[in-house]
Structure 1
């Protein structure tokens, strides 16, 4: 699986995903400051699943009807990297095969597959 980790998710999460043997593109490490339009286009054209904290991507997918290869929107109370990693680990353990082409909203207590 390939993940594009948005700048707001952080390098610690990107590093952890690499340690789990996933292919990762980190916006923070490789394209800091890139705008949301370029991020969603890159994720789509290069077949990345986008991981973000930015709810603007919900607007892009649902209001602007932007195509995507999968979006994981983290809506966490605790923004610490360890919490993000624990939450993603739970998501990957339970739903790894269902991440592609879905828009998924994840909190500490809930995983919701939104209708596209």
Structure 2
């Protein structure tokens, strides 16, 4: 429900006055992608159990790119580590991979390492 409210406010261009702000909208969208990753993997495994396909989402960290206006703290090589890990480890399926290649468990109270 929160995702719908956030995105509706963004579509109506009222997200700032509704309290969502720019960075918050991005964060909410990342949570949505992370949740969808788990759901899609489960559905795919059920519908196509014999296929060896992994669906994961990745937080590469705050990488020095155009998107961060080159103010990020990680190089593109460092940012690519988590994506490569998710792509190459066949056991990792339906997970959210943090920048240091740890799997984030959305159901625990443990916080991942700092988000840079």
Q: TM-score, normalised by structure 1?
A: 0.30
From the CA coordinates, give the structure whose radius of gyration is larger. 2
Q: TM-score, normalised by structure 2?
A: 0.30
| Larger strand share, 1 or 2 | 1
